[in-house]
Amino acid sequence: MSDLKNILSLLLFCIFLISYLLKLLILYKKNHIKGNVLAKGAKLSKLHYIELLVKTSTFLWGAAWFVFSVAESFMVTLVGKTFDIPVVHFIGVSVAALGCSIFIQAMIAMRTSWRVGIDKTTVTKLITHGIYKYSRNAAFVGFDLMFLGLYLMYPNLLTLLIFILNIAAIHLLILQEEQHLKSVFGDEYIQYANNTPRYFLF
């Protein structure tokens, strides 16, 4: 059962990583857009440090996801295991799969407006269709579910800390992005925000 979990976990990680890199490549090749602007360019120090936090915390999450998938027994000897309930571990696989699916749908819906980080240099469209009818931060919801999925698949103190750190970092970035979108789109964004939850239910 553990081997199956690890295979599924690694498969999901590869799907996420390939889709993410493919989106960046398509944006650059087809539209000459540099999609990753996280902690890049001239930004206020607060935003820069928040984006740097997100960059660091998501890297740790991705590295942990890969390493646990390919070397779980080795990692367990290093950091231990909080509990060992196979049903919960496979629920974690399902949660991560749902998160990955939402993230990919969000990237598709965003088209050329998709960015990693807040782009202060180009004007994008406000996307309110597709999955963004249900959440104004759909890609981040996908990330949050993948963070949770990692913890449920490989429950230990390290993955718990990675989960909490990433949830907090992403939320701080969302707050900054909301201010940016208000300044760019004004009443259009305010009306959208009033009618669409920040996450899915609130």
The model's pLDDT over 121-161, given as tens digits with 9 standing for 90+, comes to: 888 899 999 999 999 999 999 999 999 999 999 999 999 99
Q: What is the band of 34 on the pLDDT scale with cuts at 50, 70, 90?
A: very high
Work out the mean pLDDT of the chain and round it to a whole number: 95
In order, the DSSP letters of 38-98 are TT-SS--HHHHHHHHHHHHHHHHHHHHHHHHHH-HHHHHHHH--S---HHHHHHHHHHHHH
Number of independent structural domains in the chain: 1
Q: Does a structural domain hold residue 39?
A: yes
Q: How high is the pLDDT of residue 202?
A: 58
CATH code of 188's domain: 1.20.120.1630
Phi/psi-derived region of residue 118, left when phi > 0, alpha when psi is between -120 and 50, beta in every other case: beta
82 assigned to some structural domain: yes
Band (pLDDT 50/70/90 cuts) for residue 20 is very high
Domain for residue 200, yes or no?
A: no
* CA nearest neighbour of 58 among 157, 177, 156, 142: 142
Q: Note whether residue 202 is domain-resident.
A: no
Structure tokens at 89: 């571990």
Q: What is the pTM of this model?
A: 0.95
- As given in the structure block, the two tokens for residue 135 are 């959440």
Residue numbers of the domain that contains 140: 2-195
Report pLDDT for 51: 96
Q: Is residue 201 part of a domain?
A: no
Tokens representing 59 are 């890297």
Report pLDDT for 174: 97
- Domain membership of residue 134 (yes or no) is yes
Mean pLDDT of 160-179: 97
Q: Lowest-confidence range among 41-50, 80-89, 146-155?
A: 41-50
